[in-house]
Amino acid sequence: MREGIKPNNVLCLYPYVKEVPIYEFFPPIGLEYVATAVSDMVESIKIVDSRYVKDPMGQFTPSIDTALVSVNWNYTYDEVCTVIRQIPPHVRVIVGGRQATDCVEDLFGRCPNISVIVRGEGEATLRDLFSGRPLEEVKGISYVDNGKVIHNESRPLFSLKDVKRPDRKLRTTKYRATIRGIDLGFGFDAIMSSRGCPYSCKFCTFKLNPLGQMRKWEARSPESTIEEIEAVDADFVAFVDDNFTADMNRVEKICDLIISKGIKKMFLCNVRIDIARRPALVEKMRKAGFKILMVGLESAQDKSLAALQKGFKTARVREEFHVLARSGMLINGYFIIGIIGEVEDEMLAISRYARDIGIDFISLSRLRWEKFSALEDIVKAAKGYYIGKDNGIYSEKYGRKELTAILKRVDRDFYTPGQIKQIIVKAYRLGILTPRRLIRLMYYVPYILLRTNASTRRLKKMMRH
C-alpha–C-alpha distance, residues 417 and 370, integer Å: 36
**Could you tell me if 50 and 82 lie in one domain?**
yes
Looking at residue 454, its pLDDT comes to 41
Q: Which domain-ending residue is among 160, 191, 218? A: 160
**Could you tell me if 109 and 140 lie in one domain?**
yes
**Could you tell me if 127 and 72 lie in one domain?**
yes
**Could you tell me if 109 and 179 lie in one domain?**
no
Provide the β-strand partners of residue 332.
Answer: 294, 361
**Could you tell me if 204 and 102 lie in one domain?**
no
**Could you tell me if 152 and 201 lie in one domain?**
no
What contacts 279, CB < 8 A, 6 or more positions away?
323, 326
Looking at residue 142, its pLDDT comes to 96
Residue 455 included in any domain: no
Q: Contact, 340 vs 379, CB < 8 A?
A: yes
What contacts 109, CB < 8 A, 6 or more positions away?
none
Looking at residue 131, its pLDDT comes to 94
**Could you tell me if 135 and 194 lie in one domain?**
no
CATH of the domain at 328: 3.20.20.70
End-to-end CA distance of the chain: 73
C-alpha–C-alpha distance, residues 404 and 419, integer Å: 22
E-strand ranges in 353-460 read 361-366, 385-387, 393-395
Mean pLDDT taken over the chain: 88
**Could you tell me if 124 and 28 lie in one domain?**
yes
Residue 457 included in any domain: no
Residue 461 included in any domain: no
Residue 359 included in any domain: yes
Cα-Cα-Cα-Cα torsion 163, 168, 171, 172, nearest 10 degrees, comes to 180
Residue 168 included in any domain: no
Looking at residue 452, its pLDDT comes to 44
Residue 464 included in any domain: no
CATH of the domain at 141: 3.40.50.280
Residue 454 included in any domain: no
Provide the β-strand partners of residue 189.
Answer: 237
Residue 314 included in any domain: yes
Looking at residue 3, its pLDDT comes to 72
Domain count, the chain: 2
* CA torsion through residues 329, 437, 227, 224, sign: positive
Q: Which domain-ending residue is among 160, 186, 210? A: 160
Q: Contact, 131 vs 3, CB < 8 A?
A: no
Distances in Å between the alpha carbon of 231 and those of 30, 38, 244, 288?
18, 20, 20, 17
Which of 378, 307, 376 has its CA nearest to residue 346?
A: 307
How far out from the chain centre does Cα 185 lie? Answer: 22
* CA torsion through residues 341, 347, 349, 355, sign: positive
Q: Domain range for residue 336?
A: 174-449
- Count Cβ neighbours within 10 Å for each residue of 52-68 and write b for 16 or more, e otherwise: bbeebeeebeeebbbbb
**Could you tell me if 238 and 345 lie in one domain?**
yes
**Could you tell me if 431 and 286 lie in one domain?**
yes
Distances in Å between the alpha carbon of 417 and those of 53, 77, 353, 445, 456?
35, 35, 17, 10, 10
**Could you tell me if 187 and 246 lie in one domain?**
yes
Looking at residue 200, its pLDDT comes to 67
Edge-first strand order for the sheet with 330-337 is: 176-179, 182-191, 236-239, 266-271, 290-298, 330-337, 361-366
Q: Which domain-ending residue is among 111, 127, 160? A: 160
Low-confidence stretches of the chain (pLDDT beneath 50): 451-465
**Could you tell me if 102 and 192 lie in one domain?**
no
C-alpha–C-alpha distance, residues 210 and 310, integer Å: 22
